Amino acid sequence: MSSPPVSRAALMSRRGFLKTASGVIGLSVLGLPGRGQGAGAAVSTPLGPVPGVAVQRIEGLAKVTGQKIYARDFRARDMAGWPGRQWHALYLRARTTKEAFLGLDLSHLPSEAEPAKVILGSDLDPKLFDKPVEFNRDLHVDHLLSIKAEEQSNTATGGSFNLPDGLSFDLLVMPGRTPNFLGQAVALLLFDTLAAYRAARRFLAADDGIVQRYGPGEGPDGTPLPDQPFDPRTLYVKDPGFDYAGTDSETYAREAPQVQARIRQALDEATDLIRQPIRAEMRAMDPMFMEPEAGLAWIDPASKEMQLVLGTQSPDGDVRNIASMFGSEASPVPDLAQVTLHSCYPGGGFGGRDSSPFSLMLALAVAFAGGNPVRLAYDRFEQFRVGLKRHATTADGTLYAHDDMRLEAVRLSMVFDGGGRRNLSPYVASLGALCAGGSYRLPVADIHAEARHTENISGGSQRGFGGPQAYFAIETALDDLAAAEGWDQMALRRANLIAEGDTTVTGGPIEQSLNLPEMLDTAEAHPLWAERAEIRAAHEAEGRTYGTGLAMSLQAYGTSGDGMVAAVHLGRDGTLTVQSDAVDMGNGSATTLGVTIGPILGANATRVDMGGYTLFAETGLSDDSASPDRWDDPMWTQKGTGSSSACLTALHQVNTVQQTAQALLRGSLLVAAAQLWGVGPLSAEDVIWEAGALRPVGAGSAPLTLAALAKAVHEMGLPTGALGHAYFQNSWVEADFDTPGGALRLQLDGLAYYHGAKTAPQPIPRRNGSYPTPETARYSRYVWAPCVNVVGLTLDRASGHVQVENVLSVLNAGHIHVPQMVSGQSQGGVAMAIGYTLLEDMPPGMEGPADGRWNLDRYHVARAGDVPPGDRYAPGARAQELITVPQPPGSPRVGRGIAEAVMCSIPPAISNALRDATGIRFASLPITPDKILGGLAK
């Protein structure tokens, strides 16, 4: 197989560089040859002979045979061109936010555990970079620290290296200052031998406070102050005369408070409305991806290139942040020329590796490693201690309804515990506010959501992105309303289903078919619901308490504007390679993208390279927000690429790959076919793929194998690959592109063609573009993956133990690319939701993982025995059945985001089932046996 062009060409483009205060730093994301998931990687195994059908995961064999594909697997000795030696980094973590961090006392460390270097926040002070403090293990460290602390009091604090773009608080706490949050790094220890590193880890495992000194000092630096919100806060107010989507930002900011007051007054005066309190609280949750974060870094002293080995969901942002950090005036490596990220398959993600601070901590460590490769590898205790969490949240409000079951309004305040770092917390809160409208038509809304800075572990982009908390609040309140009014839960929901033509709580329109009534029909007719009384009676006859719960979710996928890029290459031998900026964190993106080209190009990809965000640089497009021409410039786009989210695969990434494959088919393969057949121009409708060969529709010329076509394409000088960029904001940008196959109209805003493996692609300016209207940017979200969940469970009243007996999930997943992966994602969502609802208990503060002593012996995730093992409902057995909504004939072959959709409505369904079983509302997650026994005792 010929190799596709590797993204190093990107280094010559605008996007491949980042201008910084100290100059220009090149950026690149590559795979580890034969190992990672980026360009140049080759872990692919055959997807299968049937176009569009996957017989296994494309990277499955590498994973199941234990090959090196995760960042944690690599050492410096594995990296070509790196020195064989390796240093080890260990961060010490703040244990209090009540006193100032004064420094370290390493005199307790055994001699065999002494670090080669100790770096404090003060070492990152710009004024000190000319003479960095290095602590040799043979020196009396404590004495030097005392001197340093004294110097510190006389120097300005802060520095952009310690405070990269987007961070509110220092990477390393300045000695003399109070830490901003528990787990904030207070010191970096660097070890030049593995033995010393391990000895230090062993010594510090029980109590790393033994080497930290705290006492009176200055308060925390930076903003916001504790218990203040991170910006921005979200307020959605909506009534018949005003809403977010229909109002420009300035007017909205000015008038929304008045509208809010108007709404509140109207609701207060509407005494005929039924009022249902909404009250829910949820603990923080750890994503508990299986591979604790780990990485490797080295700065080549000759080339000044920093190489990183990471498994991240946000390669784009990580590399840019690191380049920005080292490009600051205060950089300890002021002449850094290049940052190259070797992108590995992450051992799980669930959002926890999206914009994780880990990459910055690794980069910070290598800056002080004296030219040595350095490895930073969290253990599980540390991962619990500092890894991004799903936010602890409180929801408090009121649901207003008419006595004919029609919902009128929702008033809700949601407070997310953002913890230490801002991260993506305000945006999680914002999506939570949107989700608070549930699956329902709500004429009036007054929803406020904010993420507050606290001393707790930072929250971030977890699976569901605010949805789990919001749906738990609204769906439990709905059941309480039904119970209070004597209404049927199903009927109440059915009376209020949102549909095409309605608007969400932002005022944004629903323009996508949701199929909610049909989904409720399916759930209502299913024996788990229809025969719930009989099932209950059977359990009670055997002494078990049984309940049935129902809940819905309408999870949005994508963001308010998404840019994606993909390339499809045709090798001279007829093999196909797909490249994408997406990251496969286990959700199967690589496999899906590999088979989605099959029906278009006659074969599945033999290779899929993921995480290639520098592909965008090769498109020739600019996403400069300052462009005066914007869409009038045929080489401008609203957004290059964003962080990688699993929910973006099924529609956004798939459609981008499909359109790019269409560009290759119609702009190259059909041109070659027409010449070989000696006929006039061909359209896609003139041909059909059959048994790996292209033939004309109807009788005519002899079929052409893909290999024969590929050979012709290469020999005729036709495009051997296509590079497409797409932008989706309520609708796809569409445009005409002049290709060797004539003018093609595609759902792309950028297209370029490759001619051979060695050359840069040639961009084609778009014509006759149709673009999203500006007001759509304020809809918040456009596309939805609805799910109805029914849960049947038993309760042991003596122990408080709950067993989920059966789960029914009715899901609108759109077109299903790989059915096995859809069911696997759904089952994973069910397991995670059961853990979140019943098992995973994480107290805040030093009572929780911030003390560094939490692991899976204290934090219990769902195991096989906790989940229904079957996949098809049968009376008397335990199963989780997934029913997907069939798609009408002729529907586009694009799907919808799924796992979080299934997961989001399981927690309220469990709580509703418990209410059905006991008559008691358990609205505080997790619903532990202690809480249940307490509730029963009342």
Residues that bind another protein (CB under 8 A): 55-57, 59-61, 63-70, 72-75, 77-78, 194, 198, 287-292, 345-350, 379-381, 585-588, 818, 820-821, 823-832, 855-857, 861-865, 867, 869-871, 880
- Strand order across the beta sheet in which 545-557 lies: 545-557, 783-796, 801-811, 879-884
| Residue 118 Cβ vs another protein, minimum distance, rounded to whole Å | 24
Distances (CA, A) of 197 to 115, 374, 829, 905: 7, 12, 38, 45
Note whether 228 and 254 are within 8 A (CB): no
| Residue 463 Cβ vs another protein, minimum distance, rounded to whole Å | 10
Q: 55 or 266: whose CB is closer to another protein?
A: 55
| Residue 584 Cβ vs another protein, minimum distance, rounded to whole Å | 9
Note whether 426 and 234 are within 8 A (CB): yes
Output Rg (C-alpha) for the chain, integer angstroms.
28
- Retrieve residue 371's tokens: 């030219």
Q: 347 or 721: whose CB is closer to another protein?
A: 347
Indicate the helix (H) or strand (E) that contains 89. Answer: strand 87-93
| Residue 147 Cβ vs another protein, minimum distance, rounded to whole Å | 36
One-letter amino acid of 638: Q
| Residue 836 Cβ vs another protein, minimum distance, rounded to whole Å | 12
Taking Cα atoms as reference points, which of 395, 391, 419, 416 lies closest to residue 471? 395
Phi, psi of 218 (to 5 degrees): -80, 160
SS3 state at 401: strand
SS3 state at 825: helix
Q: 373 or 750: whose CB is closer to another protein?
A: 373
What is the Cα–Cα distance from 480 to 920, expressed in whole angstroms?
10
What is the Cα–Cα distance from 315 to 263, expressed in whole angstroms?
44
Q: 167 or 785: whose CB is closer to another protein?
A: 785
- Retrieve residue 545's tokens: 């308490």
| Residue 760 Cβ vs another protein, minimum distance, rounded to whole Å | 34
| Residue 85 Cβ vs another protein, minimum distance, rounded to whole Å | 13
What is the Cα–Cα distance from 914 to 611, expressed in whole angstroms?
43
| Residue 58 Cβ vs another protein, minimum distance, rounded to whole Å | 11
Phi, psi of 261 (to 5 degrees): -65, -40
Note whether 25 and 37 are within 8 A (CB): no
Q: 260 or 313: whose CB is closer to another protein?
A: 313
What is the Cα–Cα distance from 443 to 296, expressed in whole angstroms?
53
| Residue 867 Cβ vs another protein, minimum distance, rounded to whole Å | 6
- Retrieve residue 476's tokens: 């439990």
DSSP letter assigned to residue 531: T
What is the Cα–Cα distance from 252 to 238, expressed in whole angstroms?
11
Note whether 356 and 346 are within 8 A (CB): no
Taking Cα atoms as reference points, which of 420, 476, 408, 483 lies closest to residue 453? 420
| Residue 451 Cβ vs another protein, minimum distance, rounded to whole Å | 25
DSSP letter assigned to residue 774: G
Q: 787 or 862: whose CB is closer to another protein?
A: 862
Q: 61 or 490: whose CB is closer to another protein?
A: 61
| Residue 363 Cβ vs another protein, minimum distance, rounded to whole Å | 23
Q: 399 or 583: whose CB is closer to another protein?
A: 583
DSSP string, 219-239: ---SSSPTTPBPSPPEEEEEB
- Retrieve residue 774's tokens: 């500006």
What is the Cα–Cα distance from 825 to 771, expressed in whole angstroms?
33
Q: 461 or 614: whose CB is closer to another protein?
A: 461
Q: 143 or 863: whose CB is closer to another protein?
A: 863
Distances (CA, A) of 251 to 242, 711, 780: 11, 60, 17
| Residue 79 Cβ vs another protein, minimum distance, rounded to whole Å | 12
What is the Cα–Cα distance from 857 to 436, expressed in whole angstroms?
34
Q: Which residues contact 126 (CB under 8 A, 6 or more apart)?
A: 159, 160, 161, 329, 330
Q: 484 or 877: whose CB is closer to another protein?
A: 877
Q: 748 or 834: whose CB is closer to another protein?
A: 834
| Residue 233 Cβ vs another protein, minimum distance, rounded to whole Å | 32
Q: 789 or 823: whose CB is closer to another protein?
A: 823
Q: 32 or 917: whose CB is closer to another protein?
A: 32
Phi, psi of 697 (to 5 degrees): -70, 130
Helices (H), 495-643: 516-525, 527-530, 532-541, 589-596, 598-601, 615-618
Taking Cα atoms as reference points, which of 264, 701, 212, 222 lies closest to residue 421? 222
Burial class (CB in 10 A: 0-12, 13-18, 19+), 938: exposed
What is the Cα–Cα distance from 134 to 119, expressed in whole angstroms?
7
| Residue 821 Cβ vs another protein, minimum distance, rounded to whole Å | 6
What is the Cα–Cα distance from 149 to 142, expressed in whole angstroms?
10
Phi, psi of 171 (to 5 degrees): -65, -40
| Residue 64 Cβ vs another protein, minimum distance, rounded to whole Å | 5
| Residue 586 Cβ vs another protein, minimum distance, rounded to whole Å | 3
Q: 379 or 738: whose CB is closer to another protein?
A: 379
| Residue 792 Cβ vs another protein, minimum distance, rounded to whole Å | 17
Q: 45 or 918: whose CB is closer to another protein?
A: 45
- Retrieve residue 120's tokens: 């404090």
Q: 229 or 468: whose CB is closer to another protein?
A: 468
